[in-house]
Chains A and B, each alone.
Chain A
């Protein structure tokens, strides 16, 4: 099969890239060894967070936030997003100082989206919070969406504009043919002018096949969800010095995470929940909201995601091969960035440059270290 752009990985990054390419009339095929959103894009917590980003990611995250606030005009679906704010709670003076430094750093970059709030406003925002907290760092424009719904909306919109999604298509080999590509898969051979690697946890393997290696590690991040509860908290909650990510979804369930890693057998893709870590999470939640102690956990799971050594993604054109592009290694915070990554890749592929600054995400940053 022939196409202008072949995208490997039908997660949200791949779907977003396909959408932006299709919007500009470029033909593309998205292949996936499983089905769209089977791994990280279907299993993540759906956080729309600008708060506490790595400084390199802030410009991208702010641009992505603008797109999320207007997502319906892009994908004809609101992706079930809510902008209820995200905050990081300080439990003591040391926490508060840490957060104040952070806010000052963000302001010094010329951004205003992260603000410090005192105890009074914190308890106005979250009356149910345990009384021991002293303040918080807040981003009012943050919130959350439903990951699989967002992915489906991006995919369907891209399909409506001519993009093709093909599941159960595992890549066996990748060869550069002149300035284009030949990709052999379990469903036949694909030929394309350009090739995009956004294969999440498997992107390291594909980067190797593209002769443009990157030090990616696949890890499985755990989440758990409770039964439905009456509405009691709006913002997505984090903590300044404890591993916590906690939100009440539209339907009343609580999603509890916090970058906790499950056991993973990458070869078989089998994940195993590490209960002693989730027990810590449960304890943290009960410390912040003692009234939740009898709430029942209904389900826990882990999704496989790609991590880079510096925990920021690889985004951009390959320096080693022609017409090869990467967008992977989002290290468990790619959901929010996805819409803008699609724009960036489409610009790189079709215009040869992008308006946003992506130097910090170059794949060659790891060569320098070596």
Chain B
């Protein structure tokens, strides 16, 4: 690895791969750093090694990744898998961990394509063994074909939940129930957005097919579920899932509950660098502010893909290319006219991919009571075991923002570095103070962005001697 590149891309999902291909075609020095062992990101995980049968179940959207990975492998971009980026500064110094050693490198342009994470939504019992995120379930399936052996309850909201249910059904996993937490009012909110969504009817059709197949297979789906609660047996492991539906209490015995509440941008690197962020009301999340090329508020730091705002894998590929073109232009490698010319088709695709989003965002929006008004004893910060009640008490004692609440209660100070609770804390603090969530509500970013050991950090002093 060199100490300096013209372009460093962090992430090897669709946006990163597409950007790397575009940029390296022009002969610049370009490095792609990715923490995974192989290319593809989350969406095309294991794309180069997946057996044909499993690829079929994963679907045609997944198989799109093959061509992208191939083009990337043929490009001149330097690829560093198993490389964790733990720091990024505004002057584009990147702290990374590669082969067990820390290193600081610099770049003229940095493109962050860190993708998305599943939105953590606390509910009673969410920390029990036996409760996991659906995304984790999908990772196991994509990378090693592992599926639940004794049946599963799926709960939450969002296209991924439906997709996972359908994939599980294909390979014979027993789905005890699909508990959809989206209230019926969401469907009304989404209706006005349907005409535009029809322009992307292939997505809608796919969703309807999944729903039809699940129904035919006898999977029970309950829509408008509330008061979701996981309860443990005497061994403190998940035993029962309770919920309310159409005014009545229900419960299901299960050893496994997979939840999904949509995905949100991974903003820890843009936060570390000090990029400006904004609250996206429709997507119920923060995202880095950026222009149509992916430029953030900091010069030379760009974003693309879901890390810039959730628009899906196909869109990521196109925004990745646009950011790649912009980086080339900023480096003085191509002219403005060349950049603009090459961007026309990409931009058309980005626009087309956007058609479905307002509908999906309204349809799958997480109800406010799941985001902000948790029961007092619900654990919000699972690392430090801080409850919603403790957070509200802190606000009442005039610790008025998330950071003050963090100082006082230690919520967000645990090993996950606040990843799991930052959103929930912001919502609760805002709600308790009668304010709307804003950029200010988020925990201040504290490096390192990924945990590193004392020895790994110490290795930096040898490296830079």
- Interface assignment of B219: CB less than 8 Å from any CB of chain A: no
In the complex, chain A residues whose CB is within 8 Å of the CB of B415: 227-228, 296, 298
Beyond A300-B446, A301-B446, whether A279 also contacts B408 by CB under 8 A is no
- Interface assignment of B60: CB less than 8 Å from any CB of chain A: no
Could you tell me the distance between the alpha carbons of A226 and B415 in the complex, rounded to whole angstroms? 8
Cβ-defined contact, A276 with B407, below 8 A = no
- Interface assignment of A2: CB less than 8 Å from any CB of chain B: no
Cβ-defined contact, A282 with B451, below 8 A = no
Encoded as 1 (CB less than 8 Å from any A CB) or 0, chain B from 423 to 465 comes to: 0000000000000000000000011100111110111110010
Could you tell me the distance between the alpha carbons of A152 and B413 in the complex, rounded to whole angstroms? 18
Q: Which residue of B has the minimal Cβ distance to A41?
A: B407
- Interface assignment of B104: CB less than 8 Å from any CB of chain A: yes
Our pick among B401, B417, B460 for the contact of A275 (Cβ within 8 Å) is B460
Could you tell me the distance between the alpha carbons of A167 and B401 in the complex, rounded to whole angstroms? 12
- Interface assignment of B226: CB less than 8 Å from any CB of chain A: no
Cβ-defined contact, B453 with A276, below 8 A = no
In the complex, chain A residues whose CB is within 8 Å of the CB of B448: 297, 299-300
Cβ-defined contact, B87 with A273, below 8 A = yes
Our pick among A148, A156, A276, A282 for the contact of B455 (Cβ within 8 Å) is A282
Encoded as 1 (CB less than 8 Å from any B CB) or 0, chain A from 83 to 110 comes to: 0000000000000000000000000000
Cβ-defined contact, A293 with B447, below 8 A = no
- Interface assignment of A42: CB less than 8 Å from any CB of chain B: yes
- Interface assignment of B192: CB less than 8 Å from any CB of chain A: no
Encoded as 1 (CB less than 8 Å from any B CB) or 0, chain A from 280 to 295 comes to: 1011011000001111
Cβ-defined contact, A283 with B458, below 8 A = yes
Cβ-defined contact, A35 with B401, below 8 A = yes
Could you tell me the distance between the alpha carbons of A286 and B462 in the complex, rounded to whole angstroms? 14
Interface residues of B in 407-427 (CB under 8 A from A): 407-408, 410, 413-415, 417
Could you tell me the distance between the alpha carbons of A37 and B403 in the complex, rounded to whole angstroms? 11
Cβ-defined contact, A273 with B447, below 8 A = yes
Cβ-defined contact, A282 with B408, below 8 A = no
In the complex, chain A residues whose CB is within 8 Å of the CB of B104: 275-276
- Interface assignment of B274: CB less than 8 Å from any CB of chain A: yes
- Interface size classification for chain B: 20 to 34
- Interface assignment of B127: CB less than 8 Å from any CB of chain A: no
Interface residues of A in 297-338 (CB under 8 A from B): 297-301
Could you tell me the distance between the alpha carbons of A263 and B448 in the complex, rounded to whole angstroms? 16
Encoded as 1 (CB less than 8 Å from any B CB) or 0, chain A from 241 to 271 comes to: 0000000000100000000000000000010
Our pick among A228, A283, A294, A296 for the contact of B461 (Cβ within 8 Å) is A283
- Interface assignment of A149: CB less than 8 Å from any CB of chain B: yes
- Interface assignment of A18: CB less than 8 Å from any CB of chain B: no
Cβ-defined contact, B446 with A278, below 8 A = no
In the complex, chain B residues whose CB is within 8 Å of the CB of A295: 453-454
Our pick among B400, B417, B455 for the contact of A35 (Cβ within 8 Å) is B400
Our pick among B87, B89, B90, B414 for the contact of A298 (Cβ within 8 Å) is B414
Would you give the shortest CB distance from B400 to chain A, in whole angstroms? Answer: 7
Would you give the shortest CB distance from B442 to chain A, in whole angstroms? Answer: 15
Cβ-defined contact, A278 with B464, below 8 A = no
- Interface assignment of B343: CB less than 8 Å from any CB of chain A: no
In the complex, chain B residues whose CB is within 8 Å of the CB of A296: 415, 451-453
Cβ-defined contact, B408 with A152, below 8 A = yes
Cβ-defined contact, A299 with B446, below 8 A = yes
Cβ-defined contact, A148 with B407, below 8 A = yes
Cβ-defined contact, B447 with A226, below 8 A = no
Could you tell me the distance between the alpha carbons of A295 and B455 in the complex, rounded to whole angstroms? 8
Q: How many residues of A contact B (CB 8 A)?
A: 35
Q: Which residue of A has the minimal Cβ distance to B384?
A: A251
- Interface assignment of A272: CB less than 8 Å from any CB of chain B: yes
Would you give the shortest CB distance from A243 to chain B, in whole angstroms? Answer: 13
The total number of A-B Cβ pairs within 8 Å is 90
Our pick among B90, B404, B413 for the contact of A272 (Cβ within 8 Å) is B90
Cβ-defined contact, B404 with A35, below 8 A = yes
- Interface assignment of B102: CB less than 8 Å from any CB of chain A: yes
Q: Which residue of B has the minimal Cβ distance to A296?
A: B451
Interface residues of B in 80-108 (CB under 8 A from A): 87, 89-90, 95, 102, 104
Encoded as 1 (CB less than 8 Å from any B CB) or 0, chain A from 155 to 170 comes to: 0100000000001000
Interface residues of A in 113-157 (CB under 8 A from B): 148-149, 152, 156
Cβ-defined contact, A37 with B458, below 8 A = no
Q: Which residue of A has the minimal Cβ distance to B274?
A: A270
In the complex, chain B residues whose CB is within 8 Å of the CB of A149: 408
Cβ-defined contact, A276 with B451, below 8 A = no
Could you tell me the distance between the alpha carbons of A273 and B87 in the complex, rounded to whole angstroms? 9
Could you tell me the distance between the alpha carbons of A292 and B457 in the complex, rounded to whole angstroms? 12
Would you give the shortest CB distance from B447 to chain A, in whole angstroms? Answer: 6
Could you tell me the distance between the alpha carbons of A152 and B398 in the complex, rounded to whole angstroms? 10
Beyond A298-B414, A298-B415, A299-B413, whether A279 also contacts B460 by CB under 8 A is yes
Beyond A270-B274, A295-B453, whether A300 also contacts B460 by CB under 8 A is no
Q: Which residue of A has the minimal Cβ distance to B446?
A: A299
Would you give the shortest CB distance from A13 to chain B, in whole angstroms? Answer: 18
Could you tell me the distance between the alpha carbons of A299 and B448 in the complex, rounded to whole angstroms? 6
Could you tell me the distance between the alpha carbons of A295 and B397 in the complex, rounded to whole angstroms? 35
Cβ-defined contact, B447 with A300, below 8 A = yes
Q: Which residue of B has the minimal Cβ distance to A265?
A: B90
Would you give the shortest CB distance from A191 to chain B, in whole angstroms? Answer: 25
In the complex, chain B residues whose CB is within 8 Å of the CB of A301: 446
Our pick among B89, B397, B408, B461 for the contact of A276 (Cβ within 8 Å) is B461
Encoded as 1 (CB less than 8 Å from any A CB) or 0, chain B from 248 to 278 comes to: 0000000000000000000000000010000
Q: Which 6 residue pairs of A and B lie closest in terms of their CB atoms, listed nearest first? A: A279-B460, A293-B455, A148-B407, A283-B458, A296-B451, A282-B457
Q: A272-B90, A275-B95 are in contact. List 20 more A-B contacts (CB 8 A).
A: A35-B400, A35-B401, A37-B404, A149-B408, A152-B397, A152-B399, A152-B408, A275-B457, A276-B104, A279-B460, A279-B461, A286-B454, A286-B455, A296-B452, A297-B448, A297-B452, A297-B457, A298-B451, A299-B417, A299-B446
Chain A interface residues (CB < 8 Å from chain B): 35, 37, 42, 148-149, 152, 156, 167, 225-228, 251, 270, 272-273, 275-276, 278-280, 282-283, 285-286, 292-301
- Of the A-B pairs whose beta carbons lie under 8 Å apart in the complex, a sample of 21, sorted by A's number, is A35-B400, A37-B404, A37-B407, A152-B408, A251-B410, A275-B460, A276-B104, A279-B457, A282-B455, A282-B458, A282-B461, A292-B454, A294-B453, A295-B453, A297-B448, A297-B454, A298-B413, A299-B446, A299-B447, A300-B447, A300-B448
